[in-house]
Structures are given as structure tokens and as C-alpha cells.
Structure 1
Amino acid sequence: MNDTHVDVAEPDQRAASPAELSGLTGGAPLASDTWLDRYSGALMNTFGRPQRVLVRGEGCYVWDADGRRYLDMLGGLAVNALGHAHPLLVSAVTSQLATLGHVSNFFASPPQIALAERLLELLGVSDGKGAAGRVFFTNSGTEANEAAFKIARKTGRTKIVATDGGFHGRTMGALALTGKPSIREPFEPLPAGVVHVPFGDAEALRTAVDDETAAVVLEPVQGEAGVVPAPAGYLAAAREIATRHGALLIIDEVQTGIGRTGAWFAHAADGIVPDVVTVAKGLGGGIPIGACIAVGDTAELLGPGSHGTTFGGNPVAAVAGLAVLHAIERDDVLGNVRTVGRHLEDGVHALGHPLVSGVRGRGLLLGIGLNRAVAPQVAAAALDAGVIVNPVNTETVRLAPPLILTVAQADEFLAALPKILDAAGEDG
């Protein structure tokens, strides 16, 4: 018998900060340009050269590698609902990760179950005793829409009606739903059967939807098209049309959901009950999570073996979602969204700047329309002025700040805006 003993080293339990792991400590701080050069050598060029390298955030502000502070009026593209480093979110995620980080979909965890129940309650399909719906958790909005696509296919029909200008994600199924030919066409052939009609045109929907239609897919506000809200009565008409033909109504709330428009779900203002609702972005407050929520009999269409995910419903992501929902409710964040959103909209109008054609949107998802195609110049001038905004198209600047943005911070943006617009106008 071999009695050879092998010593096994004890694991090193010393803590390491994110800064240490990223190489931000232990020497002279690296400037943004150095980081950007390293970025170009290591990452695929899918986004172009980043505008800045950000190293930390607090509330509605972020700091870059050169130490400069910015007012974040984009919120990580409507993701950072509670801003940056929110104490409740940090505490919840840290505690969960120290308890149970990941278990795979062979097992369940209390945060996963509790978050699903809470979403059904907020959607209005649960009375606390039982749920007339079911939730499938994902890691992103595009994955939530992929799940919705598969639910539609499980009806036995293959035709789906979506809208021009709609954006539903970059994976192949979600891309097929997306009404932007410039990003869709390079990857064709995509999953077949999707028909696109003009957004907001109820008559076009009536013409396109028939008894062979599996689903109608709509956004309450088209964010990527320039922050374009659905006209009054449009979602209600879509609900009636889909029901008449036995089709599902799928509402994509990836950007508008979880308080972004001043309500838990933007479609609630239209008094409808969709068959499927997809959410992501703000749900995790910065932790990747999405959800596909199906109502009534639609919730039974995906069964064992018909769909799956490794990370969806992860305990850490789920507890982040619970923390975000708790903070929004506890701190009346929905009321803040409505108040500050109106303040921003009124403030932009009150400037009377000749470059501004108007303001569109709801709550804290707003698009500042421009009279000239200089939105990229506006965003660049804003960044130079210490403000982060998004040129969603050439004539629209998108605002999607943290939902905790204060009136004072909105005024900080409004005070800076005239000079930003002036600078962009000169460059244009």
C-alpha cells in the first residue's frame, strides 16, 4: 500500500477589491487613453472606441479614470434604476453571494421563487394566494424576448406581427422581431414568419393580423426609434385585434418596465392585460436579469424540455431584483419618476432653445427632439460638460437617468443644457 502523503495548499482567503483585480492599484493610476488603447487590443470592435473609461459611481454620478465626475442622465441605458452603489442593492447582493451564489436550473432558491411571485403580483395576475401566470427568468431583455418568441411558436402558428422601428434585441429570434433593417439584414436569413407594420397604426394591425397569426409584439414606447410613445388607444386596439384572431399579445417592457415611466409597467395606463410581458434592464439595477412573464393559459405553453437557461433565476440576480422592487416601493420612487420627469420635460420646453423641437416620452424615459441632425454633437458636448446622454438617432437625444434622480440634479442638467446645445449647433 502506498502511504505517500501529498500536501495540499490551503486556499488563500485574502480579500481582493475590484480595483486590485482590475489593476487600478499598486502603482500610478492609468489614464483613460491608456485603458482605451488596451481596450482596443483586447475587446471585439462591436461598439467602436468607448467614450470614457469609468471606474466608480455613486447615486446619479460616475467618475472616469482621470478623476472627472459626470451626471449620469442615461443610467446605463435605463438599467441603473437605483443609481450606482445603492446601499440596499449592494447589501442584498453581497449577502446573497456570501450565502449561495449559483445552483443551476436543477434546483430552486427562495429569491427566485419570491421574485417570480412579486412580479406576478405587480402585473396584477396574482391575489397573493395563487398566480394566474408563470415567470421564466433570463439574463437579459433579448433572452426574455427569445422566450416570448418560442411561446408564440408553441401555439402551433408561425406568423408574428411586429412593428417598424421596434427593437427587441440582438439574438436571432429577437432580431427577427426588430424593425430596424440596418441591423437585421446583415444576419439574414432570420427565423421566418415575422411581418412588420407601421408603429401606432391600428388599421395596419387590423390588416396584418389574421387567424394564422401567433402573436403581436409591441413596445409601449419605442426607445431605440427615438423615444416614441404609442398613440392613445393603440395598445387597447392591439389587445382587441389579437383576441379576435386568437393571437397572443406580447408587450416588450424591457426598457419601459419596472418604474421607468412612473408605473410598474407602462402598458397599465391602457388598462390591458397582455398574454406575455418581457422585462429586464432596470429589474436588476445593474445585475444582469430579465424575465418573460406569461399570463393565464399562455403560461402553460413552455413545458419541461422546451426551453432552458443556465444562469436565469440565479439567486444573486434574483435577490437584486427583489432589492430593486423593495426600494422602489419603500421610497416612493414611482412618484419621484413622475415628478422629476415632468420637471425635466417642462424645463426643456421652458428653455425655448431654437435647436429643440420638442420633448417626447413618459416619466424618466424622454427624447429631446432636435431641429437639425446634430444629436451626436449634442452628446459629445454634453460629455465635455460632464453630463452623459445618448444620441439615440441623429435628431433625438435620449434621457434615461436613474429613477432616483432628484429635482436638484435635473436642474443641474437643465442649467448645463443651453451651452451644450449652443456648442453642438456651432459644430453642426
Structure 2
Amino acid sequence: MPGSTLSPFRALTAAMLLAGAASHAAAQGVSDGEVRIGVLTDLSGVYSDASGRGSVLAAQMAIDDFVAQNKPNFKVKLLSADMQLKPDVGASIARTWFDREGVDMITDLPSSAVTLAVMNLAAEKNKVVIPTGPASLRITNDDCNETTIHWAYDEYSQGQGTARAITESGKKTWYFIEADYAGGKALRSGFEEAIKGAGGTVLGSSKHPLGAGDFSSQIVQAQASKADVIGLANAAGDTANLIKQTAEFGVTPKQVLAASLIHITDIHALGLKTAKGLFLTDGFYWDRNDTSRAWAQRFFDQRKKMPTIVQVGTYSAVLHYLKGVQAAGTDEAKATVAAMKKLPVNDVFAQNGQIRDDGRMVHDMYLYEVKTPEESTKPWDYYKLKAVIPASKAFRPIEQSTCKLVKK
């Protein structure tokens, strides 16, 4: 009634209800009206060319495209840092970002060890992590959590293309030169699974430290094994330098080289005369269709290099994350991830990609062979397509997952 007053008890109850409603509304919105994304990358080490500043650029391109196309009612801020490929450094940066900078999502992370440290921290703090650079299956298996999504590729996807194709062609025996860290072990594991599945045998392996300059002892051991194939279970600069040195030792054509993870920037640095005939599996090639060419040209205009799978994967991850925030109406981690899982991934990187319950984003992969100098007709014209590996075969079946989130 006009002029009536509430009793102290009713006034307190009303105040509590209003506070609860305000709190619920805040929880459903974007905190501070701004989504903050961190690109935790390698700006100075062996992965800086495959990820690094190119990934930062790709993330910014995704933000710009999302804002232009979707007109969100929130702002987006991008942060970046060099984690130096050290788990303690990466975790320290992530903690600072989460606690002091209000970062909602971290992406790129071109190191399995750093990724595992950061994603565990993010789960504690209810933040999203979308690694695009590491290969370890642990990310979506024993170490899986509700706020981590593994993008781009993993050790299984790499093996199902390159290793299986070569083994099935009749080259049955393998020897590995492996980087002595979590990523190298993961890549070799993925290849070994595919090799054995195709009826092949691994004769042995030798390891090298990250960023090694001299691979002579490992190459000599690989030659002595008499294996049909020398598998390179490393990435980026290590792979490129190793391929150069195998050429100097006269390894090919007596033994075939197979790279578990090599990027187009590595092929560019090697040159087709050295890299020709190399088989590789990738999820993106700039010259695949009109859409990829148009996006890659935008990237090239600023970077002066064609994008790697990690860099275009970072674009895709950031773009889809922002779509998830908008669809959920909040940047709260679990709600955003749930929204992302409901949306198909359709962009320059993946068509009809899907995020599974274990956090694995599945999509088609592609088996390529590096062209000879005579086959190349223009700059960065390096690959010829040998096979399309559908998403259902490119990634480990979810029935084999050990992730606690997967219902058996």
C-alpha cells in the first residue's frame, strides 16, 4: 500500500533477494565487460617461427574478425608473453594473468609440459585453456579437465597420416631420433602406435636435447640400424636442422625420412632441394582452396610468411572461443566451454569440426608430400595432397579415451 513500510525482517529478505538477483546477473554477463585472452607462446626459442609472433598476429586477426562480424556487447583484450618453454615460467605467467590481469582464456602453448602445468592451474581457477601447439594425448586423456580444449593436432593425428601411409607402402622398419622432452616422447608414441597398427616394427631410438645444434651421433646410430625409415620425433628448428644434417651424411635415398611434426616455415627454410619427397601430416595448407588462400594472404601481408597449423589453429581457437562467450552470455569458463561444444567449428581452419566430451576438437587432417623444385610453380608452393584423413580416423576414437569426463 502507498505509504506502507516493510518490517525489518521483510526488508532484509528483500535486500537479500535483490543482491542475489544482481549477483546472478553479473555471473551471467561478461566480467568487467571485457574478455581477456592470453597468447602464451615461444617468442625466442625453437618454436618461435611456428608459433610466436605469428600466433599473436593470428589471435588479433580472430578478434578483429569476430568484432566486425558479430558486433559483441563486450570488449576483447589480447595479452601475450614468452614462456621460454619452461613449465615453471609458463605457470607463473598464467597465475599472474589469472589473478592480476583477469585473463579468461590462454591459448597457443607450443610445449606439452608447459600446457599440462597451465591447464591444471586453469582448472583450479575456473579458466579456459585452448592449446594449439602441443601434441601430448595426456591433455585429453588422463589429465583432461572441464575447461581445456585441445585444438589443431596431437600425437595420434600425426601418426595416423604419415607413419601409417609409409608403413603400408612396404617400408616396415623404423628408427627414431627423438627430442628428449615430453613433446618428443608424445610424437614418437603416436607414430609408434600407427606403425605397429600397420604391421611395422620400431628397431630403436636415440634422443637429443631441445635446441640441439649437432645431431651427428644420432644420425650415425640411425644409419647403423639399417631401418627403412628414420622417424624424426621433434619439431620446428630441431627438425629442420636434423633434415639438413641427414642430407650432409647421405642418409637419403638409402633411408626414407619421416617428420612427425614439421611446419611450412621449416620447409621454406630448408628449400625444396633438401626437403623434396618428405611426407608430412598437416591440418592446414594455405593453397588448399580460395578461402585458405584469402586468409593466408592477409596473414602474409603482415608476417611475410605463410601461416603454420599452430598459427591458423590459434586464429580458429580464439574465434570459436569468442563465439562461445557470446552464445553463453558469459565468460564463466564452464558455461563458455559448454556453449563451444554445442557449436560446430566452421572457419578457415576446420569445416564441421566438433569438440568432444574429452575436450578434443576433431577435424579432417591431410597427408602431403613435399614437391620437387621442378614441381613448384610459385612462392610457397610446396605441398601436393596425397590423402584426406577424415576426422573420424584422424583422431583417437573417444571409446579409447581415458578421460574422466567421457561416459562409458
| Shared fold per TM-score greater than 0.5 | no
TM-score, L = length of structure 1: 0.32
Structure with the higher fraction of residues in helix conformation: 2
TM-score, L = length of structure 2: 0.33
